Structure 1
């Protein structure tokens, strides 16, 4: 009996957490910010998506050293953040 009660409580808690997370995401997507601004500008979104695609390709072709992969994604992060911040100011 207690196992079924525990399972029911876990399911109810999972549902509540999922609903709260959905509400949080909806609020975050509605809030203004650099990512939201870049999505409205096709040019900015293309640059960001292009760098991420290039990073995925470079990661696939990189040797099995984690340092190389970290440098690749670190550079992509810096480029994308700079691009998003300049796109926001326009």
Structure 2
């Protein structure tokens, strides 16, 4: 019987965490910011999200770590900032 209660409690906690995360994301999307502004200008955030996704894959594949990972994420930051600034000027 205690296992059933534990599983039920876990499910309830998972649901509460998911609801809180959804509310947090909704609040964050309502706040002004570069990604929100790019959506208002009709530009897709796909470039930023794509570079972050590729960076995560490249980081996972980097065998040496350290300097390689820093260069990867530095390049991503430069690309994303340039794209967001170009979006702001449009």
For the criterion TM > 0.5, the same-fold answer is yes
Equivalent residue pairs, number: 85
Residue segments in structure 1 that go unaligned for 5+ positions in a row: none
**1:43 Cα shift?**
5.5
Compute the TM-score of the two structures, normalised by the length of structure 2. 0.64
Higher relative contact order (CA 8 A, sep 6+): 1
1:44/1:83 contact within 8 Å kept = no
Normalising by structure 1, report the TM-score: 0.64
Distance of 2:69 and 2:8 partners within structure 1: 44
- Contact 1:39 1:45 (8 Å CA) reproduced: yes
Q: Over the residues paired in the alignment, what is the CA RMSD in angstroms? A: 3.3
The gaps in structure 2 that reach 5 residues or longer are none
Shift of 1:87: 4.1
Counterparts of 2:21 and 2:40 in 1: how far apart (Å)?
A: 24
- Structure 1 or 2: larger helix share? 1
Alpha-carbon distance between aligned partners in 2 of 1:46 and 1:22, rounded to the nearest angstrom: 21
